[in-house]
Structure 1
């Protein structure tokens, strides 16, 4: 793309990004509300608020039990979209709703959009060499994700995995095998949703193929001689339309998650499928994660769905964008095309969990064409596809998959990189490493004890022992690494327990070795020999602790060369 064309594209994006007016509020409560459009079928009448014009503004009325029950957790909450009358500002409407005392939360429904950057169609021919990000991560390919290496490890490559693509711009393609899809965008401001999912059924003038591109990055068919190569084969793709030609509202994306969790949505069949991976290459600018979105995420995660989200393309803190700033999801930023650094458009910061290739990602477009997509919208499906592929051999909880993704990232950032200063999460997700770590988690090898000196080469071991720690023998120290319990928050710590080897791990037999505020620490070898160790994460607030996790000590058999 020429410079002038690129500038025109960016200016066009700046306009279209804000094309959807935020004319909706979201009310949250603990029970199913009465819709103002379905009065006759319910026992509770809607609440109608008088306006200056003389009109009434009728809003959903929760049951009396709902209003009283203020202690319900996020997974039991229900939401409803409320259209704001033209004569009211958002602030006026929110104040009126707050004065009713009917709702636990009243929040703005933020405009959202897809996170693509450049969607100009590329030549129709396919060249597998373009997908260099599938190759082994190395100094020469620092942004690659070792996807081919992961394929070679799969023991059940034909096992089906379900992937749910919450997006827009879905089109039929010879290289994509969709299952039945559904629409979650409201036709009117009354929560009515019309069936279907193909863009041509809703907006024939729309030129977007964003959902088609995202779905193809994840699951375009492999070795069929056409189109592109998806990250994972033998996958069932579920298109869930939640935006209209690139723009929409966060509550429609939340509605898709709620439906996956079993919530009944009028006009749609009850979800009876399997948990899997959800990809959400979309976002809206918010300072915090809205409760209606966090509640939808919590419910989906509790059902076993792993949710992968794009970080956004505003070149700013990803914590300012939802759902990327919500808890319980994997937020993905984009790396540059060639340089080992963040892409110039990608969001960054503490909300980002991992990174993936984000420029020149090969995918499908309309009419069976292929294109090189760019944006965190296409980094996210790379990560979703890697997780879905490894799921063929392993079954873990969403929390465990999030932990494994962060443990399986690598950083080869150039000196003085933006990633070092801005924050790019744990690094670039490497699929082969993800597989290895999943295997280690299954076999109980992620939390381990090893000789401290084995972290060094043989040469460095000799230098270390001759130069440092002259007051004590470094051969006498063991390194303990705890990975499965995640990072420690400020108020959290680890308790390390030991039991004599061969003795049952009971409260009577356990001895508290000590407490630690880091997930990597050292203990005495003499105290480690002949004992089994267990660890748990605890919090000072509430004095709560996780279940005990056994630490693998098999690496202690590998004695450092300098200590032999």
Structure 2
């Protein structure tokens, strides 16, 4: 599995003015793009070309086999057989579950043939393809006192209008109050989150950061393969991000610090430095499931189980289960496996809501996992004008959309990808291993998903005992209509009707239902005082 984002390799350090040259350039770009003059020069990409879909080749790393307790040896023997067709090793995950790991990744067609062979063995009840997931972001690239709040157009857009040129025609877009952002600050008078609103970030893990440390609770590293984990020991209680750099990514093989970026959009602390999250008093629980080059389906599924308070063999049970699970990751071209679906179903039964990225392949989201799973909220990405971002997957699988950034869809005054169009959040300066805390813009459905998770955290803070079904219903209702951006053609969600019910909008949250009032001074003959709790 992969993460669903794009990032800029230029970012800001936490020291504000004392930035490197690259960071200063980013800062200049961000500031200039908010001015009227620069807005007029911002040119969308003429073609709005979507990235090429990820192919099936090399997408399956093994099989997860569920069987009777007496069939483990039979499964292992079949996988070791010369007639099996591929070199493979078998390990027992827990009684009744075995994992077959291929020496080399194979394509979906070959993996399905091998799975069918194993499924015919006596005692085998289910065989799931162990697909490879990657982060769902495409690698590039009363205001609070946090200095970069003005750049966070994904949370609150301060602009009233935006002038641009497309195809030789000038346009002037009128923006509603707060723009087409999550508008989370509209709820901050009621709540900014609480210790009871825990969001599990199933991603690359955590890095130390002054905008995150105070809001981070204990998590877990669920990566089973020590080489992918890069910490020498596989699964352990430390979800530290060891870097997901990958030679297979070519020239842009550096680490993404994806989990750090996602976490900041959800719950970066309000502390007068850096950025601020949608729910700045919520808690982040890092569950590391993506390591070098990505992660496997079974680790993602076990991460879902652990984060929601379920039992995972070989780990200590999570004493602070998360109400909200954020999965900004994707595996393109594969169905939702039974093993993964069972983990999602179990999490929901335990009261957790699973919010997932639609994926960044510019294809129908029904062809991307976990976006195509049941019992999840699938999030597409929009630009700051409320149109679908060109990379975002689409279709009937999408529940709603949220700001995901559109760096590649817009050009700055020098005709370079406009970093100001990205989602700005917490990051790390390291190229491969960890460096110092920093900030950077990224784009992707990976960046849209935590916007929804942040609003969900605010809702949970107002009504901690809300059920998973109720929270899902409230989120789907808390949307604004897509604007009719006729100049955007097929990316005009208002006409295409393939971006979900609308854009997440905190001003649409039904607070009269959610916020249980606090009543005081209620005596006969006196007027009671009622205030939000």
1:253 Cα deviation (Å)?
Answer: 0.8
Tell me, yes or no, if the aligned pair for 2:228 and 2:292 is still in contact at 8 Å: no
User: How does 1:123-142 map onto structure 2 within 5 Å?
Assistant: 126-135=147-156, 139=176, 141-142=178-179
SS at match of 2:262: helix
- Asked whether 1:436 is paired with 2:511, we answer yes
Aligned to 2:277: 230
- Residues of 1 paired with 2:66 and 2:505: CA distance? 39
Structure 1 pair 202/150, CA: closer, same or farther in 2 (3 Å)? closer
Tell me, yes or no, if the aligned pair for 1:170 and 1:239 is still in contact at 8 Å: yes
Aligned to 2:425: 363
- Residues of 2 paired with 1:238 and 1:33: CA distance? 37
Which of 144, 148, 153 aligns to 2:185? It is: 148
User: How does 1:75-224 map onto structure 2 within 5 Å?
Assistant: 79-84=97-102, 90-118=111-139, 120=141, 126-135=147-156, 139=176, 141-154=178-191, 157-168=193-204, 170-177=206-213, 178-187=216-225, 193-195=234-236, 196-200=238-242, 207-222=255-270, 224=271
Structure 1 pair 106/346, CA: closer, same or farther in 2 (3 Å)? same
Calculate the TM-score normalised by the size of structure 1.
Answer: 0.64
1:260 Cα deviation (Å)?
Answer: 3.1
Structure 1 pair 136/202, CA: closer, same or farther in 2 (3 Å)? closer
Aligned to 1:400: 470
Gaps of at least 5 residues in structure 1 are 37-44, 67-77, 444-564
SS at match of 2:386: coil
- Residues of 2 paired with 1:253 and 1:56: CA distance? 24
- Residues of 2 paired with 1:245 and 1:15: CA distance? 21
Which of 275, 279, 296 aligns to 2:326? It is: 279
Structure 1 pair 33/22, CA: closer, same or farther in 2 (3 Å)? farther
- Residues of 2 paired with 1:323 and 1:202: CA distance? 20
User: How does 1:4-15 map onto structure 2 within 5 Å?
Assistant: none
Tell me, yes or no, if the aligned pair for 1:48 and 1:56 is still in contact at 8 Å: no
SS at match of 1:94: helix
Tell me, yes or no, if the aligned pair for 1:242 and 1:253 is still in contact at 8 Å: yes
1:319 Cα deviation (Å)?
Answer: 1.2
- Residues of 1 paired with 2:227 and 2:113: CA distance? 18
Tell me, yes or no, if the aligned pair for 1:171 and 1:212 is still in contact at 8 Å: yes
Calculate the TM-score normalised by the size of structure 2.
Answer: 0.67
Tell me, yes or no, if the aligned pair for 2:242 and 2:291 is still in contact at 8 Å: no
Tell me, yes or no, if the aligned pair for 2:53 and 2:361 is still in contact at 8 Å: no
SS at match of 2:387: coil
- Asked whether 1:288 is paired with 2:288, we answer no
- Residues of 2 paired with 1:411 and 1:33: CA distance? 55
Aligned to 1:551: none
Q: Deviations over 1:455-488 (max 9, x none)?
A: xxxxxxxxxxxxxxxxxxxxxxxxxxxxxxxxxx
Tell me, yes or no, if the aligned pair for 1:142 and 1:412 is still in contact at 8 Å: no
1:386 Cα deviation (Å)?
Answer: 0.6
1:140 Cα deviation (Å)?
Answer: 6.0
Q: Deviations over 1:497-555 (max 9, x none)?
A: xxxxxxxxxxxxxxxxxxxxxxxxxxxxxxxxxxxxxxxxxxxxxxxxxxxxxxxxxxx
1:21 Cα deviation (Å)?
Answer: 4.7
Tell me, yes or no, if the aligned pair for 1:136 and 1:148 is still in contact at 8 Å: no
Aligned to 1:353: 399
Tell me, yes or no, if the aligned pair for 1:62 and 1:102 is still in contact at 8 Å: no
SS at match of 2:242: helix
Tell me, yes or no, if the aligned pair for 2:399 and 2:476 is still in contact at 8 Å: yes
- Residues of 2 paired with 1:190 and 1:415: CA distance? 43
Aligned to 2:4: none
Tell me, yes or no, if the aligned pair for 2:289 and 2:295 is still in contact at 8 Å: yes
Aligned to 2:34: none
- Residues of 2 paired with 1:412 and 1:175: CA distance? 32
1:255 Cα deviation (Å)?
Answer: 1.0
- Residues of 2 paired with 1:117 and 1:60: CA distance? 33
1:16 Cα deviation (Å)?
Answer: 9.2
Which of 409, 419, 424 aligns to 2:499? It is: 424
Higher RCO (CA < 8 A, seq sep 6+) = 2
1:350 Cα deviation (Å)?
Answer: 0.9
Q: Deviations over 1:131-186 (max 9, x none)?
A: 233338963654122211111233x8555421100001532111112222321222
- Asked whether 1:51 is paired with 2:81, we answer yes
Q: Deviations over 1:201-239 (max 9, x none)?
A: 8879952210000011111111x1222101112222111
- Residues of 1 paired with 2:259 and 2:330: CA distance? 14
SS at match of 2:391: coil
SS at match of 1:299: helix
User: How does 1:229-268 map onto structure 2 within 5 Å?
Assistant: 229-268=276-315
SS at match of 1:270: coil
1:288 Cα deviation (Å)?
Answer: 3.0
Structure 1 pair 14/199, CA: closer, same or farther in 2 (3 Å)? farther
- Asked whether 1:312 is paired with 2:359, we answer yes
Between Structure 1 and Structure 2, whose CA radius of gyration is higher?
1
- Residues of 2 paired with 1:32 and 1:402: CA distance? 37
1:439 Cα deviation (Å)?
Answer: 3.1
- Asked whether 1:389 is paired with 2:431, we answer no
- Residues of 2 paired with 1:350 and 1:87: CA distance? 31
